Amino acid sequence: MIALSWSINLRRASARLALILALGPAACGETPTAPAPVPKEFDDLDEEAPEPATPPAPAAADPAQTNAVDPRTTNADAPAPGTLVAAADPIKPAEPTTAGADPATAVATVDPLKPGEPAAAAKPASEVKPGKKSPAKPSEPAPSNSPTPAPEPTPAPAPTPEPAPVAAAEPAPVAQPAPPPVPAQQRFAGSYRCVGGEAQRTELEAASEAAVQELNALIRGIGRKRLKESNVIRDSITIAVDGDKVTTTFAPGRSVGGKLEGPSVPWTSDSGKPLTVKFSLVKGRLVMTFTADDGGRKSVFTLNETGDRMTLSVTITSERLTNPLKYALSYKRD
């Protein structure tokens, strides 16, 4: 609104100056120069053209308010003879007209403060109404500074829960038949070598001499010889197991075998004396029982938990011995 009011006041001052310049030559007896035509492309588009009013009846020309037009002018744009031109109001200049005025009946005004700006055509004097202002352009509503609230986002629909994958049923494991239990005698299968050394030999000799001392002095020599022949330390022992049959080898050519808990088998001692041998399994131990006509021998084979060590425990009995002869030998699995 401020810019529009300033533009109207500036155009009023320009119209006043143009009228003074236009009337000045006429008063001095000079022929006024017609203003240049206003190009249509420079019309003032900011103001709305008022509706044309019905012109009043022509009144008598007042010599004080009119100026004669020099008949010598040949400019086509000059005012036609008999056309009234409004006198300049020293207090309030005439309001500029819009671009729709007839150039033949209006005087163009030039704004001396804005060179190059097209001037609006003057309104005919008959249509000038003193004190009437051009209708102001309705003001546009001021834009609101408050930000438009953003629309709330529509919540995304909850995803449909997928069913938990069903694990494929694994086929039940086929029950494998339990392996047949390993016979306890199978643990003894293998070859063993004596690891007792000289210490155990000395112990055996001492134990044999103690048993001889219990004999009658007349037969001690004979008893010492028999005990030595029947209690030889075997450097190696091999045990073979075939089901419930066990075969023991003490030296090359000196093997004996029989069934566990079976009948006794005949055999001969190292001295050639006949005897029998019986095999049995007692509390996880392999037992060989030698029986002769004047005495006997029991050999018990015991394995440790890992099965790599074996102990041979020997007990000698005789009708002539007050106490049995006992000793132990150590072997290791080859």
**Domain assignments of the chain as residue spans, ordered by start:** 1-139, 185-333
How far CA 37 is from CA of 25, 42, 106, 142, 182, in Å, comes to 20, 11, 11, 38, 133
Which range of 32-41, 108-117, 181-190, 282-291 scores highest in mean pLDDT? It is 282-291
CATH classification (class only), 185-333: mainly beta
Beta bridge partners of 265: 277
Question: And the tokens for 170?
Answer: 């694994």
pLDDT in tens, 266-303: 999 888 889 999 999 999 999 999 999 989 999 999 99
Q: What band does 110 get if pLDDT is binned at 50, 70 and 90?
A: very low
pLDDT of residue 184: 92
Strand order in the sheet with 254-259: 254-259, 245-251, 236-242, 190-194, 325-333, 309-318, 295-303, 285-291, 274-282, 265-268
Q: Mean pLDDT of all residues in the chain?
A: 74
- Measure the CA dihedral 111/114/115/120, to 10°: -40
pLDDT of residue 256: 96
Does residue 126 surpass a pLDDT of 60?
Answer: no
List Cβ neighbours of 24 (8 Å cut-off, separation of 6 or more).
none
188, 246 contact by CB (below 8 A): yes
pLDDT of residue 51: 53
pLDDT of residue 96: 46
Averaged over 114-124, what is the pLDDT? 47
Helix (H, G, I), strand (E, B) or coil at 135: coil
pLDDT in tens, 70-88: 445 444 444 555 444 444 4
Does residue 153 surpass a pLDDT of 60?
Answer: yes
Helix (H, G, I), strand (E, B) or coil at 13: helix
98, 59 contact by CB (below 8 A): no
Taking alpha carbons only, the member of 291, 188, 278 closest to residue 230 is 291
How far CA 19 is from CA of 77, 103, 208, in Å, comes to 16, 16, 168
96, 111 contact by CB (below 8 A): no
Please state the pTM of the whole predicted model.
0.49
111, 10 contact by CB (below 8 A): yes
Between 52 and 329, whose confidence is greater? 329
Q: What band does 206 get if pLDDT is binned at 50, 70 and 90?
A: very high
311, 183 contact by CB (below 8 A): no
pLDDT in tens, 154-187: 777 777 777 777 777 777 788 888 777 878 999 9
